[in-house]
């Protein structure tokens, strides 16, 4: 279509030039010559995907990462954040140390977003965890040598973004052990959200 318009304009200009009797390089008397700048229309740039902070309140997100903590689990974590400000996180780990020792844990954490901005958020947490260490000595297996394997924790967390999809979090959790020990414990983690 553009080529057709350009060809039509070229033919029209050639015909109008052929019909003039005077030389086109000479200027007629009593005529003002004005130069007209070309008209340039900007071409819109391709749309870029920009992160909208309200997007986390409208859409659900799934993330994977790692967490280091002694209250609601440590190890590989999977997080699901729902649009109604509620999120859940499952964490687990299993590590063998030689043929006679193993350490493991599993935990669940429930989160409620108190604040949500483009690059950070504050959330309340509550969660549970089960930690274990098993030893095998002289073919006798001891299932769990920890005195307080079950843990319950409540606290606050703060998460900030280091890129569009990756976030780092720090949590302060008041932890109640099954042997009635109460300790304030820190937790930290990394989550990559699939947006």
Q: Is the pLDDT of residue 153 over 60?
A: yes
Query: For residue range 26-80, what is the model confidence (pLDDT) as tens digits?
Result: 556 666 666 677 766 666 665 555 555 555 567 788 999 999 999 999 999 999 9
Other beta carbons within 10 Å of 41: 5
Question: How is the chain split into domains, by residue range?
Answer: 55-194
CB of 94 closer than 8 Å to CB of 102 = yes
Q: In which band, very low, low, confident or very high, does the pLDDT at 16 lie, cut at 50, 70 and 90? A: low
> What whole-number distance in Å separates Cα of residue 52 and Cα of residue 195?
11
Percentage above 90 pLDDT, the chain: 47
DSSP string of 41-73, one letter each residue = -PPPPPPP----TTHHHHS-EEEEEEEE-SSS-
- Judge if pTM exceeds 0.85: no
Q: What is the pLDDT of residue 7?
A: 55
Q: Which CATH class is domain 55-194?
A: mainly beta
Percentage above 70 pLDDT, the chain: 67
Q: What is the pLDDT of residue 26?
A: 57
């Amino acid at each position: 279509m553009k080529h057709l318009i350009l060809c039509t304009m070229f033919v029209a200009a050639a015909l109008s030039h052929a019909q003039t009797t005077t030389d086109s390089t000479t200027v007629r008397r009593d005529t003002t010559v004005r130069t007209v700048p070309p008209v340039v229309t900007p071409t819109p740039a391709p749309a870029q995907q920009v992160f909208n902070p309200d997007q986390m309140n409208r859409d659900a997100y799934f993330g994977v990462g790692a967490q280091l903590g002694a209250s609601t689990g440590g190890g590989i974590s999977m997080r699901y954040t729902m649009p109604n400000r509620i999120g859940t996180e499952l964490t687990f780990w299993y590590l063998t140390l030689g043929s006679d020792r193993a350490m493991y844990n599993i935990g669940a954490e429930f989160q409620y977003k108190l604040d949500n901005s483009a690059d950070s958020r504050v959330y309340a947490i509550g969660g549970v965890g089960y930690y274990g260490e098993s030893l095998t000595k002289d073919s006798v297996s001891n299932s769990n040598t920890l005195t307080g394997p079950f843990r319950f924790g409540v606290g606050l967390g703060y998460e900030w973004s280091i890129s569009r999809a990756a976030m780092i979090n720090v949590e302060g959790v008041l932890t109640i052990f099954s042997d009635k020990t109460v300790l304030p414990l820190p937790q930290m983690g990394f989550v990559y959200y699939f947006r």
